[in-house]
């Protein structure tokens, strides 16, 4: 079976945030949404930090340099939330608090 919408060929083209969700426009014409609660760094980010993103790997993923956060299209399509451990996130959050 030949599937022209192979998960490895679908790329992100644009993203936006609304309320507590991340929306990703895909190269196959779909827009998918994921709750920000799945991505704690994005959830705790400022609007400025969220809006400072770039596509990586020709649209295979999205990178937020201010947050050191990467999300792949493959994981979004699979419905996988962030795999970051609690210790890592707690250390990151503590570091943010020190900067304020």
Q: How far apart are CA 75 and CA 85, in angstroms?
A: 16
Q: What is the pLDDT of residue 31?
A: 98
**1: pLDDT confidence band, cut at 50, 70 and 90?**
very low
Q: What is the pLDDT of residue 97?
A: 74
Report pLDDT digits (tens) over 58-69. 999 999 999 999
Q: Assign domain 12-99 to its CATH architecture.
A: 2-Layer Sandwich (3.30)
Q: What is the pLDDT of residue 3?
A: 45
* pLDDT above 80: residue 6: no
Q: How far apart are CA 61 and CA 55, in angstroms?
A: 6
Report pLDDT digits (tens) over 51-90. 999 999 999 999 999 999 999 999 999 999 999 999 999 9
Helix (H, G, I), strand (E, B), or coil: what is residue 86? helix
The residues spanned by each domain of the chain are 12-99
DSSP state letter for 63: E
Average pLDDT of the residues in 38-42: 97
Q: What is the pLDDT of residue 2?
A: 43
Q: What is the pLDDT of residue 5?
A: 56
């Amino acid at each position: 079976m030949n599937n022209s919408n192979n998960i490895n060929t679908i790329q992100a083209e644009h993203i936006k945030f609304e309320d507590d969700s991340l929306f990703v426009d895909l190269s196959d014409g779909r827009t998918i949404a994921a709750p920000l609660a799945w991505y704690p760094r994005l959830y705790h980010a400022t609007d400025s930090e969220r809006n400072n993103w770039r596509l990586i790997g020709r649209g295979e993923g999205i990178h937020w340099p201010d947050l050191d956060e990467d999300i792949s299209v493959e994981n979004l399509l699979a419905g996988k939330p962030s795999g970051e451990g609690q210790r890592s996130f707690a250390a990151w959050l503590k570091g943010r608090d020190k900067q304020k």
